[in-house]
Amino acid sequence: MHISRRNILVGAILATASSALFTGKVIVAKLAYAHGIDPLGIISLRMVSASPFFAAMLLLRLRQGARVSPRDLGVALFLGILCYYVASMLDFGGVQYVSTALERMILQLSPSFVLFIGVLFMGEKLDLRLLASICVGYLGVALMVYSELGGAGSAPAHPLAWLGVLMIIGATLCFSIYVIGAERMMRRMDSRLFTSLSMIGACGGVFAHYVVQRGFVAPTHDPVVLGYGVAMGIFCTVLPSFMVNRAIQMMGGQRIGPYNYAGMGLTFVASSFLLNESFSVLKLAGILLACVGAMALTFGGARNKASK
């Protein structure tokens, strides 16, 4: 499929901006955790702040004549629940026990997850060059995990660091399935309609979880935490969700990978200043290896896809 230069340029800008905004959510979450709120509480505040915008966009698209079949509606709701509810719960839970840098690096494994899903379930072929890049990326993440667990003189690990790693790997798998599904769904409907439907599904999942577990009680009355929740809902959810889905629609899911490094770089810098997270030499080496592997995988995958 031919993709115009204009689509690639605009998609790149949208993907970079969305990555930077999405990345901010884990930093905001960690700042909120310091005030005593838990993952379910901050995610609920996030969705309460975001849901009116998605509902308004859905109503606007329906008034403009957009239509969706029952099947497509079900798939869009499912993908939203999977990515922005299940994956967010796993991600926000895991980041309690590991650094934001490691969280970002594990999430960068998503292109390899997308590739493996394609090979195992969609009949795609595994290129040996891409397999080599995957191994480099995984080696980098392994070094970061080793450093995070206190290896080679690093700071002592959180006792539940392994649980945090497993939770974020689960979040990465959910996000990878979402990317595959979203790209296919947006061949059938425009990105604004799909984003609204999927995010309303996610909001419904979060609200149902919260009410079942805690009833109709506010997550917090702390104005600082409420401010974090509103900021996360608008700037780390509403804006980037529309941006990334439009980027996927314009240039495909595999091409957006390299632009995630803008957000990842922001995380490293911001976490150092705002969260006082240190970077050992071993962790830096892991970051570089993971970056090389993920970028080689993304660019290689894009070339192979374009050549078919």
pTM: 0.79
End-to-end CA distance of the chain: 9
Comparison of pLDDT for 252 and 52, the residue scoring more:
52
Among 51-60, 120-129, 207-216, name the one with the lowest average pLDDT: 120-129
Helix (H, G, I), strand (E, B) or coil at 250: helix
pLDDT band at 306 (very low <50, low <70, confident <90, very high): very low
Helix (H, G, I), strand (E, B) or coil at 57: helix
Report d(CA 47, CA 24) in Å as an integer: 15
| Six token digits for residue 81 | 């629940």
**pLDDT (0 to 100) of residue 247:** 85
φ/ψ of 215, rounded to 5, equals 75, -160
Cα dist from 279 to 19, 138, 248, 272, 273, whole Å = 22, 19, 32, 8, 12
**pLDDT (0 to 100) of residue 205:** 95
Among 48-57, 58-67, 208-217, 263-272, name the one with the lowest average pLDDT: 263-272
Radius of gyration of the chain (CA): 19
Name residues whose C-beta falls within 8 Å of residue 211's C-beta, 6 or more positions apart in sequence. Answer: none
| Six token digits for residue 192 | 């604004």
Using the predicted structure, report yes or no on whether residue 130 has a pLDDT greater than 80: no
Using the predicted structure, report yes or no on whether residue 27 has a pLDDT greater than 60: yes
Chain-centre distance of CA 4, in angstroms?
26
Instruction: Report whether 139 contacts 292 (CB < 8 A).
Output: no
Domain count, the chain: 1
**pLDDT (0 to 100) of residue 10:** 85
Report the pLDDT averaged over residues 182-201. Answer: 91
Report the pLDDT averaged over residues 99-105. Answer: 78
pLDDT band at 303 (very low <50, low <70, confident <90, very high): very low
Q: What does the pLDDT look like over 83-100, one tens digit per residue?
A: 999 999 999 999 888 887
**pLDDT (0 to 100) of residue 282:** 65
* Mutual angle of helices 223-233 and 5-33, in 10-degree steps: 160
**pLDDT (0 to 100) of residue 52:** 95
Question: Whole-number mean pLDDT of the chain?
Answer: 81
**pLDDT (0 to 100) of residue 1:** 52
Give the single-character DSSP code of 65: T
**What share of the chain in percent tops pLDDT 70?**
77
Among 17-31, 124-138, 288-302, name the one with the lowest average pLDDT: 288-302
Cβ-defined contacts of 22-25 (< 8 Å, 24+): 22/236, 22/240, 22/244, 22/263, 23/104, 23/263, 23/264, 23/266, 23/267, 24/232, 24/235, 24/236, 24/266, 24/270, 25/232, 25/236, 25/237
- Comparing CA positions, the residue from 84, 98, 101 lying closest to residue 43 is 84
Comparison of pLDDT for 16 and 229, the residue scoring more:
229
φ/ψ of 3, rounded to 5, equals -120, 125
Whole domain around residue 236: which residue ranges?
Answer: 5-307
Comparison of pLDDT for 211 and 123, the residue scoring more:
211
Helix (H, G, I), strand (E, B) or coil at 85: helix
